[in-house]
Amino acid sequence: MQRTTIAQILAAGAATLLVAASLGAARAQDKGTLNPQPLPALANPNDPKLPAKQLFGRKGQPAPLLARSIGFYSKGCLAGAKALPINGQTWQVMRLSRNRNWGHPNLVRFLERLADKGPKVGWHGLLVGDMSQARGGPMLTGHASHQVGLDADIWLTPMPARELTREEREQMSATNVVAADKKDVDPSVWTPAHLGIIKAAAREPEVERIFVNAAIKKALCREATGDRGWLHKVRPFWGHDYHFHIRLRCPGDEPDCRPQEPPPVGDGCGHDLDWWFTDAVLNPKPSAAPARPRPLTMADLPAACRQVLVAP
Ligand SMILES: [Zn+2]
């Protein structure tokens, strides 16, 4: 099933593959600061070779335009973003210094609804990691996707029953639920509620895919009872051992949003996972890490992203 697996991964965008493989899993864990410093002004913001992440990474406020997702998850931008409020009854936003709690209004509403469903499956609140930048686009650190406001990372740490301080939100570590040998989940931290919240997300029609570590997928395959149709959307990926990644479909009325090919048929369990547990994948040699792709420039992004960037 190696061919299927690779084809499916490539469908996520080759850049995603390369970056994920070369960056490994640690990025979601990077700590933040209570005193974020503004980035220095660019000497030459119109240089056509300038990586687009240098431009979008400096936009702290959304483009005041009609909300729409433009382009592909790993090559696009976002107009009219909304912020997920940093506190709700059933969620809290983490790493506030990153200013990445922006999304398409569909994503913000979706997360609020999912958070409210959590307690019914034993998950008392979401700790929300990165969504998108204020205008989407490529990021200076951490992700190849999350560019169009339809991706969100949810920590695999249950939300404590109190409001976290600003400092905790920057410094606290998420829980790695994968065992040290990477072949299964760690039974000392993995709970039925982990399955419950991932399943609750996957069953939502507007969810396109969910990315988890292959060890988590293996556990879900083993533990899912009753309806197993949702497993189809839960796809193995590198990293994603401290968080799971929710990807929404393109909004129906937004032709500039480029949909992703649907995942391969089937639940993706059993031998479909074999490749992920080969030694070459579990323990890649440093020399096997592919070269970083050339960073995206404005010319690589849809033309409409220029308007998003320059909007007041
Ligand atoms: Zn993610």
Look-up: residue for tokens 């205008």? 135
Mean pLDDT on 249-265: 96
Q: How confident is the model at residue 163 (pLDDT cuts 50, 70, 90)?
A: very high
pLDDT band at 58 (very low <50, low <70, confident <90, very high): very high
Indicate the pTM of the whole model. 0.90
**Whether residue 6 has pLDDT greater than 90:** no
Distance 247 CA to ligand 1 centre (A): 8
Q: Which two tokens stand for residue 275?
A: 């490749």
For residue 92, the surrounding DSSP H or E stretch is strand 91-93
Does residue 291 have a pLDDT over 80?
A: no
The Å distance, Cα 224 to ligand 1 centre, comes to: 23
Near ion ligand 1, which residues have CB within 5 Å? Answer: 153, 245
Mean pLDDT for the stretch of residues 180-189: 97
CA of 71 to the centre of ligand 1 (A): 17
What's the CA gap between 143 and 286, in Å, rounded? 20
The average confidence (pLDDT) of the chain is 91
> Rounded to an integer, what distance in angstroms lies between the CA atom of residue 33 and that of residue 40?
17
**Cα 53 to the center of its chain, rounded Å:** 17
| Structure confidence by residue, pLDDT tens digits, 194-213 | 999 999 999 999 999 999 99
pLDDT of amino acid 278 = 96
Q: Phi, psi (5° rounding) for residue 301?
A: -90, 160
| Span 82-106, pLDDT tens digits | 999 999 999 999 999 999 999 999 9
